[in-house]
Structure 1
Amino acid sequence: MNAKRLLLSFFILSFLVADAWSSVREVPLDELESTREQRQSTLIILRVIEKYHYKKHHLDDAMSGAILDRYLEALDPNKFFFSKKDIQSFEVYRNYLDDALKSARLDPAFKIFKVFRQRVDERIAHALKLLDQEFDFSADETYRFDRSEMEWVVDAAALEEIWRKKTKSEVLSLRLKDKPEDEIKKTLKERYLGLQRRTRQLGSNDVYQSFINAYTLSLEPHTAFMSPRVAENFDISMRLSLEGIGAVLRNESEYTVVQRTVAGGPAALGGEVHAGDKILGVGQDRDGEIVDVIGWRLQDVVDLIRGSKGSIVRLRLLPEKEGSGGRSSVTTLVRNKIKLEDQAAKKSIVEGLNGMGPVRIGVIDLPAFYRDFRGMSEGEKDFRSTTRDVRKLTGELMDEGIDGLILDLRQNGGGSLVEATELTGLFIPSGPVVQVKNANGELDVEQDPDPALVYGGPLAVLVDRNSASASEIFAGAIQDYRRGIIIGEPTFGKGTVQTLVDLDRFVRKGGDKLGRLRLTMAQFFRVKGGSTQFRGVVPDILYPSVDSSKKHGERGLENALPWAQIKPTAFEIQGLGSLQKYRGQHQKRIENDPGFRYLKDQALLLNEVRERTTVSLVSKTRKTEWKVREERRKAQRNRFLVAIGKKPLSDEDEDKRSDSDQKDDPVAKIALNEAARILSDYIGDKIRSAMVQQ
């Protein structure tokens, strides 16, 4: 999935579908016109962005062209509906949309959408006819399922050929799942008619929201408009965010995709739902029919998955590792409420590894930067927070006689800035933690609020590509202070600050509900002056990674704000010393390490799947590809298990638990154990140095 398409799908379409696509009725074409409220919102949005957005810009002809391109991509991200002839007809707007927005003339957006709706009707009518044909699955053909980087095809005839292969591929996928022919036709007919129906249900607010977000995305990835209905759903979702299966979902073309699982939730605990997996179907209870949800709007899929605590939901998943057209599987989950303690920090001790000697390394696994704001506001003295929990766990580990401490921030997507600041304060005597610069250039410096040093011993911080925001603030401060060793992969690179702006506040009391604007209004800077934005935090000791860092995190998002630098603020470096020796020891150790070899092999295999944009339409070939890929995966896993003295897995007991989410899995311990060895190397030198001085 290329970054541009993912960006558009997530930041435009996810908002669009969350609005329930306006209604349950088909909207007549003559109702697809801009409203007074939308025109009013447009003028306010432009004014707010001009005054408060962190990035200064010019709404000119160049941006007008970018807005047009993004709007077309938002409507048709995979180029299934518009032809080059359609696109050429829209070129009259390329240098016009900037002026249209300034005067709140929204007609171009609605005219383009009406053409889109007509093209959807035409393509669906053609696809339904194709279902009555017989396909030859021995003919040597391939289908390009990812067309996001392709040119728009010339005409309707070329689009019909694309749909012939698309329909053929979907028929083949269902055949390989052993579905009867009549059920295959029924499933695909419902899928295509559902797409047509949902498109016809899109109303004026949906069209407006998609168009105005084409403008906001032309600024940077995190600014977006929420219509009144979406803003209302957002409030509800925030109150219910920890209910259900514990998975964050996004729209990606015609699929609902798992963006991440929430620590402590049924999806993460079950170990069979992973980031990148596509949800193909949803069933209720243990024996309810699994409903095909390909092509559904996000909110409808969420409504099917959401349910009361203790009830059962079944998901048909296409794992990311299978690729498009791969084999799906069904997982059963019991819905539950995710409690704060399920996401709380947890401790463990690593000892007895080869080469560690008697050294004991304490580990605190921190999945999020949490704070019980409700408990705090209600005056509870013992409200839960990251800093309070880590302080307690650190004390317990010190009582247990640890020689060093690792904070594990892998998969930690961030959370409370206050907690990131206070947590840093546990490990430094005092001083600044992060600088925050707003759109006016004003600078605030967040300081360690408590001069007490809770732990001053050897420290390491383990991060990966999904460590973001507050995690990067903490890791960046520890690195700048030279207080601990940062180990792992370059982090996500999310170094900007967003706020929700209620547009109603800009009109007289009693005005219409105009929605909200999620606005990027500030940027984080480390105490040494560099930003966490875009580059993220680059570890002192890097783990080998097959994936290109340019394709992940902020670096993979179009229009992401660039890395920047300001003046450093005054702080006292702690003096960690040179780490070159430990880098060398790490490199030598992992050259023949079966765990890191396994991670590399798995990453290479996953990259092959991700980079693929076509699938074979030959039944025998696709079956063979499945078999070869699965045999490679199992062979790699078993080679690793045997190397560490464990029994290889048979086909019957193939472990389905996540390699990354289940931290008791031997694969998940590869990175942590090496971090413990690195810190042990450092501790050993400190001990020897102290003995010499004596």
Structure 2
Amino acid sequence: MFKRFYFVLALGAALACNAAPSKPAKVNGSLNLEPTENQSNAVKAVASLISQYNYKKVALNDSLSLIIYDHFLKSMDEGRVYLLASDIADFDKYKTRFDDDIKSGNLSNVFYMFNVFQKRYSDKINYSLAQLNKEFDFKKNETFAYDREKLPWASQAQLDAYWTQRVKFDLINLQLAKPDEAKNKETLKKRYENLISQNNKLESDDVFQLFMDDFTEAIDPHTNYFNQFNKAQFKLEMSRSLEGIGATLSEKNEYVIIQSLVAGGPADKTHQVNAGDRIVAVAQGKTGEFQDIVGWRTSNAIKLIRGAKGTVVRLKLLPEGKAVSDPTKTVEIVREKIVLNDQRAQKSIQNYQQNGKTVKIGIINIPAFYVDFDAARSGVADYPSTTRDVKLLLDSLKKENVDGIVIDLRTNGGGSLTEAISLTGLFIKDGPVVQVRDTKNEVEVDKDEDPGIAYAGPLAVLVDRFSASASEIFAGAIQDYGRGVILGTQTYGKGTVQTQIDLNRYINSTLGNRINSIVGNVTGRNNATPEIDYGQLNLTIAKFYRISGGSTQHKGVIPDIQFPSSIPLDKYGEDTDPSALPFDVIAKSQYTKVADINTVLPQLSQLHQARMKNSVVYKNLLADIEEYKKKAAENTMMLNIDVLKKQRDEDEQKSFDRNNALRVAMGRPALKKGEAKPKKEDLDALKLEAGQILVDYIGIATDKVAKAHTPAMR
């Protein structure tokens, strides 16, 4: 069995970027990329491993081919602004061929489709360049459907019309920032020329990685292939030892997107960078000129963003939910070496007033489930470990006489399974924590064997949509035991286990070798480094289940008291991915509940709702969520500079007023226009409310104890 080698992979562990040594030829001014024999061998190996050993048994047939085909089209042209309707009609014959192509290692059809796309892409950017010679009427009322994702594939004439408007749209955005048409046209000219230059640098392995992403995504969201470059990136991310800003990047609709942040990393410390932000431009140092990166490949953007420790990089960001015509914000970040120590658990204390008394609530933020195995094996006394660190924090908080503790797992994407189990053990006597079912349907129950309890007092766990994997194991166990109150929003639902397979070892080994000899030990290497690197496969091999029997997969953990989510639940989470494994139930483990939280939930919920009904903070949060939904639903705009400026100014004022109302409601002074926010200011209203709910819980429990010891009246 290879269960003991698993690591619960955190969400967004690897950077999505590509590079390869192949040298493509040009045909008629466009790239003519061709697959290699190594790629053929790699796709056959991945298909074989998935067919034999993936937890989700999926037949590689015509039905799956259709899904892979749709994913591949979307990856190339999600906005439907490059490929023609006639191209799609031509591609139609490949819809049910990909399954056979993958089995045989034939990538010619994949590369044909991509080469057509590349030609269309080049044509549209050159067309855009030509439009810059025209005069534009910025006062004309003209409706621009900038989001074509749900529209039919278009003809040449329709796309020409789209790109004429798109150039005007790009120009208006620059005009809104600085009304110098000649200079703005030159800026756009450089942007478009840069896109063509990058397009000409694409290589064979870029196409292969793109297709393999779509192939593995059709199987399940967490079975992934990494080419040689991405394999190295994955290991850097997992080792937490690269120098940069501490963010995972991806691409969507011409933008490089902040996919996730490393908790405690440089970007996270600014409190100005968020998952979903679009990076518009990058500048080096405090005074360097901004380089526009709209339309760039992620790998090229990373080269600008990553840099030596101690150096400064500035990013122009367009926050998620903001219209593309809205102004960007500039964030200055000092690059650091991203190491595990930056992500260690931290504590704080929040005081509350109840019935004339001060109630002290300790808050422990756990950004990841981490452990430094190498340091532990080397005998380092204070090696990083979530459980060890939290134990020390608990001891410290008990000495400070806190009345209750909140464990904050928001944005905690997971980490070490063993740490999730041992951390749970700090709050329960002993017993099962999680169940794991493998591909043979054999179930293993992982237990806390230590009868000691580090903290037995009132407990709450705060989660959000980005709490995943190991976070869900911990929160689910605390909920099943009735050990604490779970607060926040439905978690991500990542309840699968992956192992990492070095394809060099698989492909170069005897075909009949058992998979046990190649999985699990990621660091195992032959002494000789092979000249050919086939990449790495992260393969889903098992599934997590709560001790109550339900899976954490797909459904996640549903909080006892739910908060509104600023993270759109319909865009993020396992249940938004059609290829995700389903929720199901197995037999429950044998365990004894500590308490029945359900007896106090109605009262806690009533007190919470009463506070929220008149809370300015809560109303602002709901208003922000509604504003985001409204912006996200928009797909057209008026190409009139006066209309757009008025709309932008109104949105800015509305946001400014709401932020000031929030500050005042939380006892902070209102800011003046242009005044910067204090850097270390904590305006986390949901964290404060989580502490208040725990205060209510303590009060209810105290009342029950008091009543139980009050003599009956005679």
Q: Does 1:535 align with 2:555?
A: yes
Match of 1:549 in 2: 569
Match of 2:457 in 1: 457
Distance 1:581 1:644, change over 3 A: same
Deviations 1:313-356 (A, max 9, x none): 11122222532121012222222224544322122222234668
Q: Does 1:525 align with 2:524?
A: no
Equivalence map 1:620-635=2 (5 Å): 620-635=642-657
Match of 1:20 in 2: 19
Match of 2:669 in 1: 647
Matched residue SS, 1:551:
coil
Match of 1:686 in 2: 701
Give distance in 1, aligned partners of 2:584 and 2:442. Answer: 15
What letter corresponds to residue 552 of structure 1 in structure 2? Y
Q: TM-score, normalised by structure 2?
A: 0.90
Matched residue SS, 1:359:
strand
Distance 1:122 1:306, change over 3 A: same
Contact 1:26 1:200 in 2 (8 A): no
Contact 1:27 1:203 in 2 (8 A): no
Q: TM-score, normalised by structure 1?
A: 0.92
How much does 1:429 deviate?
0.5
Contact 1:23 1:202 in 2 (8 A): no
Identity of aligned residues (%): 39
Distance 1:188 1:106, change over 3 A: same
Deviations 1:488-543 (A, max 9, x none): 11111111112221112223366843211122221111101111111111101112
What letter corresponds to residue 577 of structure 2 in structure 1? L
What letter corresponds to residue 688 of structure 1 in structure 2? D
Match of 2:208 in 1: 208
Give distance in 2, aligned partners of 1:537 and 1:27. Answer: 52
How much does 1:381 deviate?
3.0
Matched residue SS, 1:316:
strand
Equivalence map 1:73-472=2 (5 Å): 73-153=74-154, 155-178=155-178, 180-239=180-239, 241-353=241-353, 357-472=357-472
Higher mean displacement: 52-61 or 683-692 = 683-692
Match of 1:496 in 2: 496
Match of 1:560 in 2: 580
Distance 1:239 1:642, change over 3 A: closer
Distance 1:340 1:215, change over 3 A: closer
Contact 1:22 1:202 in 2 (8 A): no
What letter corresponds to residue 652 of structure 2 in structure 1? E
Higher mean displacement: 262-271 or 70-79 = 262-271
Give distance in 1, aligned partners of 2:238 and 2:558. Answer: 32
Match of 2:3 in 1: none
Distance 1:464 1:240, change over 3 A: closer
Runs of 5+ unmatched residues, structure 1: 1-9
Contact 1:468 1:492 in 2 (8 A): yes
Deviations 1:430-460 (A, max 9, x none): 0111111122222222111322111111111
How much does 1:170 deviate?
0.5
Match of 1:34 in 2: 35
Higher mean displacement: 172-181 or 285-294 = 172-181
Contact 1:130 1:164 in 2 (8 A): yes
What letter corresponds to residue 397 of structure 1 in structure 2? L
Give distance in 1, aligned partners of 2:139 and 2:280. Answer: 26
Higher mean displacement: 305-314 or 550-559 = 550-559
Higher mean displacement: 471-480 or 552-561 = 552-561
How much does 1:253 deviate?
2.4
Contact 2:321 2:631 in 1 (8 A): yes
Higher mean displacement: 318-327 or 483-492 = 318-327
How much does 1:575 deviate?
1.6
Match of 1:636 in 2: 658
Distance 1:305 1:195, change over 3 A: same
Give distance in 2, aligned partners of 1:647 and 1:315. Answer: 28
Match of 1:68 in 2: 69
Distance 1:212 1:370, change over 3 A: closer
Contact 1:463 1:486 in 2 (8 A): yes
Q: Does 1:596 align with 2:597?
A: no
Deviations 1:373-426 (A, max 9, x none): 221121223312111111111111112212211111112122111111100000
Higher mean displacement: 176-185 or 343-352 = 176-185
Match of 1:606 in 2: 628
How much does 1:133 deviate?
0.7
How much does 1:31 deviate?
6.0
Matched residue SS, 1:57:
coil
What letter corresponds to residue 541 of structure 2 in structure 1? M
Matched residue SS, 2:570:
helix
Equivalence map 1:654-693=2 (5 Å): 654-655=676-677, 664-666=681-683, 668=684, 670-693=685-708
Deviations 1:171-220 (A, max 9, x none): 11111121633332232222223323323322222222222332212112
Contact 1:53 1:519 in 2 (8 A): yes
Contact 2:240 2:339 in 1 (8 A): no
Matched residue SS, 1:674:
helix
Give distance in 2, aligned partners of 1:30 and 1:19. Answer: 17
Distance 1:546 1:214, change over 3 A: closer
Equivalence map 1:577-588=2 (5 Å): 577=597, 578=599, 579-588=601-610
Distance 1:356 1:419, change over 3 A: farther
Matched residue SS, 2:582:
coil
Give distance in 1, aligned partners of 2:381 and 2:54. Answer: 38
How much does 1:242 deviate?
4.7
Distance 1:273 1:290, change over 3 A: same
Matched residue SS, 2:352:
coil
Matched residue SS, 1:249:
strand
Contact 1:22 1:201 in 2 (8 A): no
Match of 1:4 in 2: none
Give distance in 1, aligned partners of 2:320 and 2:568. Answer: 17
Runs of 5+ unmatched residues, structure 2: 1-10, 510-529, 710-714
Contact 2:15 2:234 in 1 (8 A): no
Deviations 1:62-119 (A, max 9, x none): 2122121111111111111111111011111122222222222222112112211221
Matched residue SS, 2:219:
coil
Deviations 1:358-387 (A, max 9, x none): 322222121221212221121223312111
Contact 1:14 1:251 in 2 (8 A): no
Give distance in 1, aligned partners of 2:241 and 2:632. Answer: 29
Contact 1:272 1:656 in 2 (8 A): no
Please provide the CA RMSD for this pair.
2.4
Give distance in 1, aligned partners of 2:213 and 2:244. Answer: 29
Matched residue SS, 2:357:
coil
Higher mean displacement: 21-30 or 482-491 = 21-30
Q: Does 1:513 align with 2:533?
A: yes
Give distance in 2, aligned partners of 1:157 and 1:60. Answer: 37
What letter corresponds to residue 32 of structure 1 in structure 2? L
How much does 1:30 deviate?
8.6
What letter corresponds to residue 259 of structure 1 in structure 2? Q
Give distance in 1, aligned partners of 2:20 and 2:185. Answer: 26
Deviations 1:442-488 (A, max 9, x none): 22221113221111111111111121111111000000111111011
What letter corresponds to residue 139 of structure 1 in structure 2? K
